[in-house]
Every structure is written in structure tokens, then in C-alpha cells.
Structure 1
Amino acid sequence: MLGKAWQFARRHKTKIAAVSAITGGLVLAGKLAESKFKQWQEEETRKMLEQIKKQHHYENTEKTSNETLKSLFPALIKTIEKSLDSEPILERIKNQTGNKIELWNELKVLSFARALAMIITGTQLVLLLKLQLNILSGILYIKQPSQVLSSRLQERFMALSQNFISFSVPKICEQIREKMIQLLALSLKEKFTITQLEAFFQTTLLQLDLPGFQKLIIAPDGDHISQPLNPDEHLLLDDLINNIVELLEHEDYAKIFRIGLQTSLSNVFDYLAESYLSHESYKENGLRSEVRLPVAKLIPILNQSITVYQSVLHALIKHYTIREYSANIYESFCQAPPDAIAKPSLSTLWPF
């Protein structure tokens, strides 16, 4: 029996060797494929966990920025109220001291300017803080904080928002007021529908020096800065600020800013619409488009329009386009090389 098996093996040794080689190769290939599949699974799991970690980090950044804005906006409104203070004129009108028409015309200028100032500087503040926090968070995500950005350096960088409120907003308010003096050749008796009033605001926005306002965003350090930086930290701070400046000058930011302005303007006009809806002529025919209010009646309403700042802020931070822009800024800085604070490739930002 063994002899026959031996003879069979000798006659077919080439075929047996080939079959053995093929079988062995298949086993080896199977093990290699299994190993590669396991590596792929591990890599995909790692990527998924990294994405979850990054998403959680970004969501915390957004939450922090929104809470910070809620604390900064009252300071912004207070600065606008101080820069475009209407109380002395209201007091003089109330006490009937001075030329009544002149006082009402001064109040007209301030009222329109206050509404525009909130629309413009409110939008600027939201976008500035979004840029600051997403740049900072992106850098900190790929680095250990102690290795690159000291706490005092982070404080100085984040102080840009407070500096904007303290130093830039009064300048912007004054420029808006001066422009309103030129543009508001309106009789106190002149009447506007809500559509006509909105068209006037839209035209006014186009005539304001918005690019000039953008250049005022980066303001000098204020008196509240107490901890000096060492030379290396100054260089890092300059890099961070230069990133902000480059992004402010990019066309994507200009588009986002315009979207923000329209969002803010829309919320202010939601507030103004309530006055039109409460007017007698609306109650009579139910057509808001036919309600016309005189400028004299619009002045006190516009003067108080800055009280709706919470609604404006909420609309801005919830706007999909602004959130998408923030996410892309964060993602761009998360991809920076680990040995430097690199500027993002602007081509990676959200295309419009």
C-alpha cells in the first residue's frame, strides 16, 4: 500500500508541488489580507475617534464663543449709547429749552446712527470673536498649550475684542454720525412705509465706509492689560494678529460680513415692524405695506432699537453661514504643522 502511494507521488511530484505552493500561497495571502484588514479597521477607528474628539472640541469652542459674546454685547451697547448719547437732547426737548426743530433734527441723526452702529459693530464683534477663538482653539488642538501659548499670551490675543469695543467702536460711531448728518436731509413730516425705510437703510449701508470700519477692528491694547510679554511671546502674538488681519482682508470674510449685516438689519426691522403693525391704518385695512409713519414718529422707535441687541446676537450666532465659516477657520488651523503657528490655506475656507 505504501509502495503504491510512493509510486503515485513520484509520478505526480510536479503537480503535488504546484498544489502545495498554491495552497501555501493562498494561506499566506489570506493571513496578509487579514492583517491588512485589521490595520485598516484600526486606522478607521482611530480616524473616527479623532473626528469625534475634534468635533467635541469645536462644539466646546462654539459654546464658549457664544457665552463670551453674550457677556460682551452689553458692553458694546453701553459704548454705543455713550458715543451717541441722546439723553441730553431728550432732556432739552422735555424741558422745552432750545430750538425745538433743531433738537429734533439732532435726535433724528443720533437715532438713525445708533441703529446703524448696532447693526455694523454688532456684526463686527461677532465675527472678530469667532475668528479669535477658532484660531486659538485650532492651534491648541494640535499642540500642548504650555508648549506654544502661555496664558498671558492667550489673554492678550483675546483682549482684541475688548479693545475693539473700547477704542474702535467710538470712532465708528462718530463716523456714522457724521455720515448721517450728510444723508439725513429728511423732513420730520416725511412719511415712510416699512419697505421704503428698509430701502433707505440699505442705501445708507452702501454709502458708509465699511472697508474703513474693517481697518479699525484691530485696536491697540487697553489699560486693562497688566501682564507684559517676553520677546518670544510678542512674536507669537504678532503672528496671531497677522492671521486675523489676513482673514479680515480676504474676500470670504467680506461676504460673511455682508451676510451678517443683512441678518442684523432684518432683526432690527422685525422690531420696527411691530410699530407699523400697531398703527391705526394697519388695524383698519390689515395691509402693512400701506402704513406710512412720519420721521418724527420713527425717531423714538429707532432711538430704542438698540434694546433688541439680544435678538440680533442670537440671529448672528445661529446663522448657518456664519457657523460654517467658523468651522472652516477652526479646521484650517487644526491642520497647521506641529512646529509652528502657520497661517491656514485660504483656499481651504468655505467657497461661496
Structure 2
Amino acid sequence: MFSAMKNFVNRHRRKFLIGGFVVAGGMLTLRYAQRKLIEYQESKAREFFERTRRTQHFESTERTCNQAIMGLAPNLIEQILKNLDADHIVAELRNKPDEKIVLWNKLKVLAIGRLCALVYACSMLVITLRVQFNILGGYLYKDAINSDEQVTSELQHNYVALIQHFLSDGCDALCQLVEQKVEQIVNSYDLSRKLTLNETEQIFCSIQMAINSDASDPSTHLASYVYPSDVPASTSDALFEKMYNETIDMLESSDVSMLNANNVSRGFSIVMDNIADFYFKPVNGTIVTENGIKPNHITNTSTAAATTSAIESTDECATITEASTSEPLPNINTVSIPIPKLIPVINGLAKQRFNTTNQPPGLSTSLVTLYLISEKVKILGANTYEVFCQ
């Protein structure tokens, strides 16, 4: 029996050898495939956890950025109101001085200038902090991944504090430029003139074009307004200088310039939407049309409309509710308002403080909110974070 088995093995030895190699190769291949599958799954799991961690860190950075913007916006708006203060002119006009025309022309420049400065400044604040916080967030994420601590608490504080320049000197320079351009444009509009909504919009378009064509245009020279020209002497850290220079490069890029210009255009649309309300109810229950003053039956709301006495209505606003009469509303394109009646409306809009609890929100609050939720601004922040966290 053993010899028969031996003969059988000898006869089929080659088959056994080949079969053994095939089985062994198959087992090795199976084990290799299993190992590679495990490595692939582990790699995908690491990528998923890293992506989730990065997403959570980015969202946290965005929330911190939004909080910083909401916290700094009131200070910026107060600085604009301080630079383009018109309260003393309003006080003089209430005393019925002899130089009424001169004072009204000054009030005209300051009121319109404040609105324009708000549109520009709010956009510049939102864009700058969005870029700044996402650059900082990218560096902090790399520190967390590498278990390093290059970005110290002191460096973070010094880097974020750079925006303080915009809240003082930068805002002053912006207001000065805006006031200069507004004066050039509105001086050609006599106080006795009546303005339609389209003519009022044209004034703001002309101001925007004048600012954009200036050598110190805030959109193309954003960095020069929001940051000091040199790195503060107290922060000589090499990493800080690198982050500072990288932020300057980002703020001076064509993408940021185009985004700020787009924001400004959208901001002026918000301004015109607010002003348009007063063209329905500009003067204490009357509508001024091209044929004169016409009775208005639009009902009052909790927000006071501009009164017949323009000075007394300087700090007041109006909103429009649905008419309770069958009489149709006038064509808004034919409604015209004398400039002395329009100036208090504009001045009242510009003086509204930043307050997120007021309903409806004031103009400055609406502008900051508009820029915060802008999809293009969000994309800028995400792209900036993605670049600097690699």
C-alpha cells in the first residue's frame, strides 16, 4: 500500500509542486490584498477624520471671525460718525442763523459722506477680518496637526490687533477721501433743486465712480487703510512678519479688490432701498410729485417719518406700510423731493447705531449683515483657510 502511494506521489509530484505553489501564491496574494484593503480603509478613515477635524476648526474660526466683526463694527461706525459729525451744524440750524445756505451745504456733504463711508468701511472691515482670521486659523491648524506651537498667544494677539489701525487712522483717511469726493459731486446740486429717486441714485453712482478712480481707491489699496505701513517695532518675530506680509499680499490681490468693489455696489443698493421708502412718504403725510404736493393716505408705522420741519426730522426715519385706501400709489419714478427735505432723511439713516436687536435693523446693521452672509465673502474665507492650512 505504501509503495502504491509512493508511486502515485512520484507520478504526480510535478502536479503537487505546481498545486502547492498555486495555493501558497493564492494565500499570499489574499493576505496582501487584505493588508492593502486594511491600509486603504485606515487611510480613508484618517482622511475622513482629518477632513472632519479641519472642517470643525474652520467653522470655529468662522464663528470667531463673525464675533470679532460684530464686536468691532460699533467702534468703526462710531469713528465714522465722529469724523463726519453733523450734530453741531444741526444745532446751529435749529437756532435759525443768518448763514443758513452755508450750513445746509455743509450738512449735505456730511450726511451723504457718512452714508458712503459706512458702505465702504463695513465692507473693508468684513473682508479684512475674514482674510486675517482664516490665515491665522490655517497656521493654528498646522500647529495642531504637527503638535507644534509656533503661533504663540502673544503672536495671535499682536496679529489680530493690527485691525486697530483701521479703527483709528485708517478710518480717518477713508472719511477724508469720501468727504472730498462727496463735496466735489454734490456742490453742483443747488438746495432749491428737487431730486427724483433716479437722480438721487445717480449722485451715489457718481460718488462711487469718483472714489474708484482716485489714486487712493479703497478697493485696490485696501491694505493701506486697514493695516499700518510697517510691522510694529514691538513685534519683531519672523513668523509674525511672514503672516503680516502674506495678509498684505492677500488684501492687495485682484480677487479681494473685485470683491470689495462688488460689496460696495451691493451696499449702495441697500442705501437706495432705504431712501426709496421716503419717496412714498417724504414730508409728513404728503407725497411730492412732479405736479406738486399730493395728499398721502399711507399709514404710519412705529418709525417716525420725516416731518415738515426738516431740521427736527434729522434723526428720524420712515417706513412704508400697505395703503389703506383705494387711491393708487404714485409712480415712484415721478416723485421728487427738495434737497432740504432729503438731507434730514439721509442724515437720519447714517446716524442709526449698530444694534442687532433692533427690528427692523438700522442701515449700518443691514450693511454688516449683508457682507457677512455674502457667498463670495464666505468663499474667500474658505479658500484662504484651505491655502494656509496645507
TM-score, normalised on structure 2? 0.78
Measured in 2, the distance between the counterparts of 1:319 and 1:4 equals 88
Distance 1:98 1:169 in 2: 34
1:216-265: CA deviation from partner (whole Å, max 9, x where unpaired): 2213699xx9x944x4x2x3322222112111221111111122212322
Question: Is 1:291 matched with 2:335?
Answer: yes
Quick one: distance in 2 between partners of 1:272 and 1:210? 30
SS of aligned partner of 2:131: helix
**Alpha-carbon separation, structure 2, partners of 1:181 and 1:79:** 20
Report the equivalent of 1:207: 210
Local SS of the residue matching 1:288: coil
* 1:322 aligned residue: 377
Per the alignment, residue 368 of structure 2 pairs with 313
CA distance in 1, matches of 2:175, 2:110: 10
Amino acid across the alignment from 1:170: D
1:88 is matched with which residue? 88
Change beyond 3 A, Cα 1:46–1:188: same
Once the two structures are superposed, the pairs formed by residues 1-352 of structure 1 within 5 Å of their partners are 1-143=1-143, 147-184=149-186, 185-208=188-211, 209=214, 211-213=216-218, 214=222, 215-219=224-228, 228-229=234-235, 231=236, 233=237, 235-279=238-282, 280-281=286-287, 285-286=328-329, 287-306=331-350, 307=352, 308-335=363-390
Please give the alpha-carbon distance, in whole angstroms, between the structure 2 residues aligned to 1:270 and 1:303: 15
Shift of 1:319: 0.7
Q: 1:5 to 1:262 in 2, by over 3 A?
A: farther
How much has 1:69 moved relative to structure 2? 1.0
C-alpha distance in 2, partners of 1:134/1:311? 24
Change (3 A) 1:309 1:294: same
Report what 1:339 is aligned to: none
CA distance in 1, matches of 2:7, 2:348: 108
Output the CA distance in 2 between the equivalents of 1:105 and 1:167.
26
Q: Secondary structure at the match of 1:177?
A: helix
Cα distance per residue 1:158-182 (max 9 Å; x no partner): 1121211111111111121111111
**Which sections of structure 2, spanning at least 5 residues, go unmatched?**
288-295, 299-326, 353-362
Q: Structure 1 vs Structure 2: percent identity of aligned residues?
A: 29
Alpha-carbon distance in 1 for matches of 2:10, 2:273: 97
Q: For 2:215 and 2:278, locate their aligned partners in 1 and report how far apart those are by CA, in whole Å.
A: 29
More divergent stretch after superposition (23-32 vs 189-198): 189-198
Alignment length, in residue pairs? 329
Whole-Å Cα distance in 1 between the matches of residues 10 and 205 of structure 2? 97
Determine which structure has the larger helix proportion and give its number. Answer: 1
How far 1:285 sits from its partner (Å)?
Answer: 3.7
In the TM superposition, what whole-angstrom CA distance separates every residue of 1:289-335 from its partner, at most 9, and x where no partner exists?
33333322221122122322111111111111100100111111101
Mapped to 2, the partners of 1:38 and 1:242 lie a distance apart of 44
Q: Is the 8 A contact 2:185 2:203 kept in 1?
A: no
CA distance in 1, matches of 2:240, 2:267: 31
Tell me the TM-score normalized by structure 1. 0.86
Distance 2:175 2:345 in 1: 19
* 1:189 aligned counterpart, secondary structure: coil
- Any conservation in 1 of the 2:197–2:336 contact (CA below 8 Å)? yes
Aligned partners of 2:210 and 2:69: how far apart in 1? 28
Deviates further, 38-47 or 181-190: 181-190
Indicate the residue corresponding to 2:301 in structure 1: none
Q: Which amino acid aligns with 1:140?
A: L
Q: Return the offset for 1:202.
A: 2.3
Q: Is the 8 A contact 1:163 1:221 kept in 2?
A: no
| Greater displacement, 243-252 / 269-278 | 269-278
In 1, distance between residues paired with 2:253 and 2:152?
28
1:139 is displaced (CA, Å) by 0.5
| Long gaps (5+) in structure 1 | 336-352
CA RMSD of aligned residues (A): 2.4
Contact 1:92 1:98 in 2 (8 A): no
